Amino acid sequence: MKVFIIAKRVIQQLIHDKRFLGFSMVVPLIIAYFLKLFFDTMPPGFPVENYVVPFIAYIVYFLTFLLTALLVVQERVNDTLNRMLVNGVKRLDIILGYVVGYLGLAFLQAGLVLVEVLWIFDLSYETNAILAMVGTLFLQAVVSVLLGIFISIFARKEAQVIPFIPLLVVLPAFLSGFLTDTALLPRWAEILGWIFPLKYGISAMQAAIAPGVDTTELWTQLGYLGIFLVGLTILSAITFKERD
Amino acid sequence: MIIIYNSYMNTAISVKNLGKKYKHVQALDNVNVEIFTGEITGLVGPNGAGKSTLIKAIVGALNPTSGKIKVLGLDPIKKRWDLRKKIGYMPQDPALYEDLTTRENVAFFARIHGISDPKQRAEKILNELDLGQRLKSVNHTLSGGMKKRVSLACSLVHDPELLLLDEPTAALDPLLKRNLWSRFKQMSEQGKTLFISTHLMDEAMLCDKVILLREGNVIAHDTPRNLIARGNSNLHFKTDKKEWKEKVSAEGTTMAKALQQYGLSKEITKLDIDAESLEDVMISLLNDKKE
């Protein structure tokens, strides 16, 4: 298994690209701050936490997805992907190597936003609720890395990732229960929301902040994310083109 | 002579009736090639002739449309995991990680091949390729020629039996080119097989054999000397009274016959032989086949 060799290389690349690293750390924090300014305009008694806590899952989802997709496409464009394969690296090693490599970044990103959101919105939760949030963000990050790898298969250059943004970043914001209760949407739109892994990450975050932590709901949603994890790994491994 | 040659040489690469079609483009068409162990084979041809496609097919990076390939006795697709330990492949583009240092790039490929001391091995090979001063330089700060050498280091780091190099000396200065070729010669003497695509005829002259590709077809596969012999020589004769030219084959016996008729009489005061170069022969071979 060459998973850890790939992961080490991915981490080395991230460390060298300080601008990229800084950008992916600072931007979510800035977004969270603007979120605070936005919610400060809401009338008193507005249930801010129902929006801002799931929002952390959304940031992790779209940034991780986007960064992974762009970097894997870059590997394809530079022909390094092909070179790895010719040097005997298996498709699954590459996929899992990326997951392990990016996990550190995604986790750090999620952790920082979580701390900032809890601090600036003055939210406090029991340890088990915090652990449930961390676990959810972790799984959400893994699924987003896999989604990024899967989408990269359909792009031959970096710019070709852009058309996927409205589809996979903007649309799920409306259909995943982050901005509105999906039960209030037309049935077909609610069902459409099921195909986005973000929906389950948001639901899990909502379960984590429910009074006393809604454990059954939390595990159910994490289970769905687990299905996405396995499904996307298999799908990526199958569709990942090894030869022209 | 060819029979003796075949009897003791092992086949490193055997390509039979190979075809590769991309939608409407026939990139390779019924290619038949046999490369022997320890040989340096130059792959020559105009842009789009199919050189990179042939190399990719040999390393198992593409699915042929037809035909069979054996590399070091193995099928490059079915036995790819066994084969890939034994081959070193350098693509036409550097195919390196721009954000990593030269040493990190080479050490990464060393680790992939299970080398126990990847950093030391990377340093050693980079030193040999005259990049010892740039071990900690991030790849995007290097010149095109340096990147080529880092890429070459990545393909040499696991000491492969067979090297497939796609234009390895493009963008290198003459001195570096010469150094690399003496290294290739050394490797060949150690029994390694090298398959090198190039646009440069002076490099093709250094190969044991040259394959000429055009529009996916092998037009010629021979030693550079034999290929030159397929060309013509212009003989410029001069006596006190007249001056004339004759075009004869550059092949030795034909040339001897052409000269015998003159018995090189004392009347001939000057004789210049203007032999076609390998490049001239290649161009006329390419044009012949077109016609």
Domain presence at residue A135: yes
Q: Do A12 and B93 touch (CB under 8 A)?
A: no
pTM: 0.85
Domain presence at residue A244: no
Per-residue model confidence (pLDDT) at position B188: 95
Per-residue model confidence (pLDDT) at position A48: 87
Asked if B121 and B73 sit in the same domain, the reply is no
Q: Do B109 and A17 touch (CB under 8 A)?
A: no
Asked if B172 and B246 sit in the same domain, the reply is no
The structure tokens listed for B75 are 């099928």
A86, A94, A240: best to mutate for the B interface, most B CBs within 10 A: A86
The strand order across the sheet containing B209-214 reads B87-90, B162-166, B193-198, B40-44, B209-214, B217-222
Nearest CA in chain A to B106: A9
Range of the domain at B128: 99-156
Nearest CA in chain B to A78: B95
Q: Do B99 and A88 touch (CB under 8 A)?
A: no
**Chain B CB contacts of A85 below 8 Å:** 61
- Among all chains, which residue has been given the structure tokens 């490599």? A101
Per-residue model confidence (pLDDT) at position B7: 42
Q: Is the per-residue pLDDT at A63 higher than 70?
A: yes
Tell me the average pLDDT across B42-71: 93
User: DSSP labels for chain A?
Assistant: --HHHHHHHHHHHHHH-HHHHHHHHHHHHHHHHHHHHHHTTSPTT--THHHHHHHHHHHHHHHHHHHHHHHHHHHHHTTHHHHHHHTT--HHHHHHHHHHHHHHHHHHHHHHHHHHHHHHTT----HHHHHHHHHHHHHHHHHHHHHHHHHHTT-SSGGGGTTHHIIIIIHHHHHSSSSS-GGGS-HHHHHHHTT-HHHHHHHHHHHHHSTT--HHHHHHHHHHHHHHHHHHHHHHHHHS----
Closest approach of chain B CAs to the CA of A30, in angstroms? 26
Closest approach of chain B CAs to the CA of A22, in angstroms? 15
In A81-110, the residues whose Cβ lies within 8 Å of chain B are 82-90
Asked if B170 and B60 sit in the same domain, the reply is yes
Per-residue model confidence (pLDDT) at position B210: 95
Domain final residue, candidates B127, B156, B185: B156
A144-153 pLDDT, tens digit each: 999 999 998 8
Domain presence at residue A157: yes
Q: Are B44 and B204 in contact (CB under 8 A)?
A: yes
* B91 in reach of chain A (CB within 8 A): yes
Asked if B32 and B128 sit in the same domain, the reply is no
Q: Are B89 and B133 in contact (CB under 8 A)?
A: no
Asked if B31 and B71 sit in the same domain, the reply is yes
Asked if B24 and B130 sit in the same domain, the reply is no
Asked if B164 and B82 sit in the same domain, the reply is yes
Q: Are B88 and B113 in contact (CB under 8 A)?
A: no
Interface size A-B, in CB pairs within 8 Å, comes to 70
Distance CA A170, CA A178 (A): 11
Domain presence at residue B213: yes
**Chain A CB contacts of B81 below 8 Å:** 88, 90
Distance CA A235, CA A101 (A): 20
Closest approach of chain B CAs to the CA of A19, in angstroms? 11
Q: Is the per-residue pLDDT at B1 higher than 70?
A: no
Contacts of B262 (CB under 8 A, 6+ apart): B237, B268
SS3 per-residue string spanning B157-187: CCCCCEEEEECCCCCCCHHHHHHHHHHHHHH
Domain presence at residue A140: yes
Q: Are B89 and B151 in contact (CB under 8 A)?
A: no
Closest CA to B90 of B12, B188, B198: B198
Q: Are A198 and A176 in contact (CB under 8 A)?
A: yes
Residue B58: φ, ψ to 5°: -65, -35
**Chain A CB contacts of B89 below 8 Å:** 83, 86-87
Domain presence at residue B92: no
Asked if B211 and B255 sit in the same domain, the reply is no
Asked if B80 and B189 sit in the same domain, the reply is yes
Asked if B136 and B171 sit in the same domain, the reply is no
Q: Do A79 and B61 touch (CB under 8 A)?
A: no
Q: Are B101 and B142 in contact (CB under 8 A)?
A: no
Q: Are A198 and A61 in contact (CB under 8 A)?
A: yes
CATH number at residue B194: 3.40.50.300
Domain presence at residue B193: yes
* A5 in reach of chain B (CB within 8 A): yes
Range of the domain at A49: 3-239
B227-269 pLDDT, tens digit each: 888 888 888 888 888 888 888 877 777 777 777 777 777 777 7
Asked if B78 and B195 sit in the same domain, the reply is yes
Domain final residue, candidates B203, B224, B245: B224
Q: Do B59 and A86 touch (CB under 8 A)?
A: yes
Closest approach of chain B CAs to the CA of A5, in angstroms? 7
B163-196 pLDDT, tens digit each: 999 999 887 888 889 989 999 999 999 999 999 9
**Chain A CB contacts of B95 below 8 Å:** 78-80, 82-83
In B151-190, the residues whose Cβ lies within 8 Å of chain A are 154
Q: Do B93 and A79 touch (CB under 8 A)?
A: yes
Closest CA to B71 of B193, B153, B185: B193
* B60 in reach of chain A (CB within 8 A): yes
Distance CA A147, CA A235 (A): 10
Distance CA B86, CA A53 (A): 53
Q: Which helix (H) or strand (E) holds B233?
A: strand B232-238
The count of structural domains within chain A is 1
For chain A, the residue count is: 244
Domain presence at residue B37: yes
Closest approach of chain B CAs to the CA of A18, in angstroms? 10
Asked if B220 and B284 sit in the same domain, the reply is no
Domain presence at residue B257: yes
Distance CA B107, CA A120 (A): 44
Domain presence at residue B169: yes
Separate counts of helices (H) and strands (E) for chain B: 11, 12
Q: Do A13 and B100 touch (CB under 8 A)?
A: yes
* B121 in reach of chain A (CB within 8 A): no
Per-residue model confidence (pLDDT) at position B6: 47
* B115 in reach of chain A (CB within 8 A): no
Q: How confident is the model at residue B289 (pLDDT cuts 50, 70, 90)?
A: low
Choose the closest CB to A79 out of B91, B98, B101.
Answer: B91
Q: How confident is the model at residue B2 (pLDDT cuts 50, 70, 90)?
A: very low
Q: How confident is the model at residue B9 (pLDDT cuts 50, 70, 90)?
A: low
Q: Is the per-residue pLDDT at B285 higher than 60?
A: yes
Domain final residue, candidates B107, B128, B156: B156
The count of structural domains within chain B is 3
- What is the dihedral angle through the alpha carbons of A95, A98, A99, A101, rounded to the nearest 10 degrees? 150
Q: Do A85 and B61 touch (CB under 8 A)?
A: yes
Q: Are A185 and A104 in contact (CB under 8 A)?
A: no
Q: Do B60 and A87 touch (CB under 8 A)?
A: no
Mean of all residue pLDDT scores within chain A? 90
Type of residue found at B59:
V
